[in-house]
Amino acid sequence: MITNVPNLLTLSRILVIPALIGAFYLRPALGDTANWIALALFVAAGITDFFDGWLARRRGEMSNLGRFLDPVADKLLVAAAILMLVAFRDIAGWHVLAAVVILCREILVAGLREFLAELRVAVPVSRLAKWKTTVQIVAIAFLLVGNAGPVILHAHAIGIAGIWLAAVLTFYTGWDYLRAGLRHIIAEHPPEAAADATVPPVGAAAKPSRSLG
C-alpha cells in the first residue's frame, strides 16, 4: 500500500531530488550555505533508506511496491547528485570518467535484473556491492560539501578519491553481475526452465532488506 510509512519514506527520497537540484542553483545567492543544504538533504534521504526497510520488516509491511521503489529511489538520488556535481564542475576533467563508470554500471545492472526477472532468476546483492554503495554515498557527501567545508577537511579531495574508489568497485561488481548473468542470457532458457533460479555473484550474500539492490 502506497500510504504505509515505509513506502512514504521511500517516496520521500524521490521527492527530495528536486530540492537537492535546487540547492545547486542557489549557490550564487546563498554561497556555501547551499552546499550544506544539499548535504543535509542527501543525508536525510540516506537515513530514510535505512528506516524504510527496517520499518517494513518490523511492522510486517513489506510489499511489491516497496521492493520496486526502494532500489529505484536509491539509483535516482545517486544519479541526480552525480549529474549535478558534474554539471557544476565539482567533478571535472578526467574525474568525470569515474562518474560515467558509476552511471553506466547502474544502467547495466538494472537492465540485467529486468531481463533475468523475466526468467524468474534472482540476482542477490554481493557483499562487495554493498561496500561500493557505502563508498559511493560517502564520496558524494564529501563532494556536496566541497570547498564549503573547513580547509583542513579537504572535503573535495576526499570526495574525488572516494568517487574513483567507488568507480573501481563499481566496474568490478558490474562485471561480476554480468558474468554471472551471461550464463542465462546465452543459454536462452524459457522462463519455465529457469524458474526460481538464482545467480550468485562472487562473494554474494542476500541483502537483508526489501531492496532488490
> What value does the mean pLDDT take over residues 43-62?
80
Least confidently predicted of 20-29, 76-85, 129-138, 152-161: 129-138
On whether residue 112 sits in a domain, the answer given is yes
On whether residue 63 sits in a domain, the answer given is yes
On whether residue 206 sits in a domain, the answer given is no
Pick from 133, 199, 206: nearest CA to 165? 133
On whether residue 207 sits in a domain, the answer given is no
On whether residue 106 sits in a domain, the answer given is yes
pLDDT of 211 = 43
- Across the chain, mean pLDDT equals 82
- CA gap 86, 175 in Å, rounded: 25
- CA gap 99, 84 in Å, rounded: 11
On whether residue 44 sits in a domain, the answer given is yes
On whether residue 143 sits in a domain, the answer given is yes
C-alpha cell at 51: 528506516
- Can you give the pTM of this predicted structure? 0.81
Place of cell 549529474: 83
Tell me which of 82 and 186 has the higher pLDDT. 82
Local confidence band at 2 (pLDDT 50, 70, 90 cut-offs): low
- Expressed as residue numbers, the domain containing 72 is 5-198
% residues pLDDT > 90 (the chain)? 43
Burial of 145 (0-12, 13-18, 19+ CB in 10 A): buried
Looking up residue 158, the CATH number of its domain turns out to be 1.20.120.1760
How does DSSP assign 47-108, residue by residue? HHHHHHHHHHHHHT---HHHHHHHHHHHHHHHHHHHHHHHHTTSS-GGGHHHHHHHHHHHHH
On whether residue 205 sits in a domain, the answer given is no
Local confidence band at 71 (pLDDT 50, 70, 90 cut-offs): confident
For the chain, the domain total comes to 1
Least confidently predicted of 65-69, 76-80, 129-133, 142-146: 65-69
